[in-house]
Amino acid sequence: MISKAIFGRTGHNSTRTLFGAASLAQVSQADADRTLDLLFQYGINHIDTAASYGEAELRIGPWMPRHRDKFFLATKTEKRTYKEAMAELENSRKRLQSDVIDLWQMHVLVDEEGWQTAFGPDGALKAFIEAKEKGWVRYLGVTGHGVQAPDFHKRSLEAYPFDSVLLPWNYPMSLNREYSLRFRELTEICREKEVVVQTIKGICRRPWPEGKKNRATWYEPLEEQEDINTAVAYILKDPQFFLNTAGDIDVLPRVLKAASDFCDGKIVPPGDDKMARLLKEKAMTPLFHS
């Protein structure tokens, strides 16, 4: 089974591997339901989805009448104005068949215009605060892709006491000196303020080679179980981090097995030498660049 940790100020005891429901964006309900069985097998109790993840919210919704109490449920919006964000939240609640969302996140908030709009007088932040006051959501967060994510997250935390952040982290990105420095500065702030750090792109091998995409993931993932074991252990060896699973339901079982085996002590936390060998053998490169 996958071990649990307190999810920051929420107090929820979440599995350290969170189900990244982007993997449900383009699957049938039957495939989604088989995925639910897999989540139960590994004890996953935290779902992370988004309004922009295709049909994912619609696939999760039918689970909720019977299983809502078994999951911490998070979703996201890319809308930056008060009116649009509120409308999307209402739609997400309907699609997810849940009156209350545990964590609502401003998604991909990593550009200046979007940030200024979201934090402006009639921006998304106003909707976030109001939704929390009305009990429609319980906690609030921000997410971001790209090398600019740590800096924008720090700005967001200075402007409002969000409960969580989400951003990329893996071994290739750790070798980007500037990104690694800003990432560590952010995670230290999060540690001090009890803000959750959710990581994404943990098993990224490299950007997809042209014409080679055969998975639902943004990136070409590591495929071999041993390689996934190493990449997952690299993330989970830091107790501050939660790992969001990859966005492909066929890769998901390997990620969950790796997390479970690591938590059971069957996988030794990898050192830099092992990570460097994996990097070389699999020709791993960062998904995002400065």
On whether residue 116 sits in a domain, the answer given is yes
Range of the domain at 269: 4-281
On whether residue 96 sits in a domain, the answer given is yes
What pLDDT, on a 0 to 100 scale, did the predictor assign at position 290?
67
Cβ–Cβ under 8 Å, residues 126 and 161: no
Mean pLDDT by 10 residues, the chain (290 residues): 96 98 97 98 98 98 98 98 98 98 98 98 98 98 97 98 98 96 98 98 96 93 98 98 96 98 97 97 90
What pLDDT, on a 0 to 100 scale, did the predictor assign at position 10?
97
On whether residue 200 sits in a domain, the answer given is yes
Closest to 75 in 3D by CA, of 55, 94, 49: 49
CA dihedral 81, 156, 106, 150 (to 10 degrees): 140
Task: State how many domains the chain has.
Answer: 1
On whether residue 55 sits in a domain, the answer given is yes
User: Locate tokens 């390689």: which residue?
Assistant: 227
Pair of tokens at residue 151? 């800096």
What pLDDT, on a 0 to 100 scale, did the predictor assign at position 288?
87
Could you tell me the CA-to-CA distances from 64 to 52, 95, 159 in Å, in that order? Answer: 19, 10, 33
On whether residue 288 sits in a domain, the answer given is no
**Residue burial 235-261, b: 16+ Cβ < 10 Å; e: rest:** bbeeeebbbbbbbbbebbebbbbbbbb
Sign of CA dihedral 226, 46, 164, 57: positive
On whether residue 259 sits in a domain, the answer given is yes
On whether residue 216 sits in a domain, the answer given is yes
Look up the CATH number of the domain holding residue 265: 3.20.20.100
On whether residue 286 sits in a domain, the answer given is no
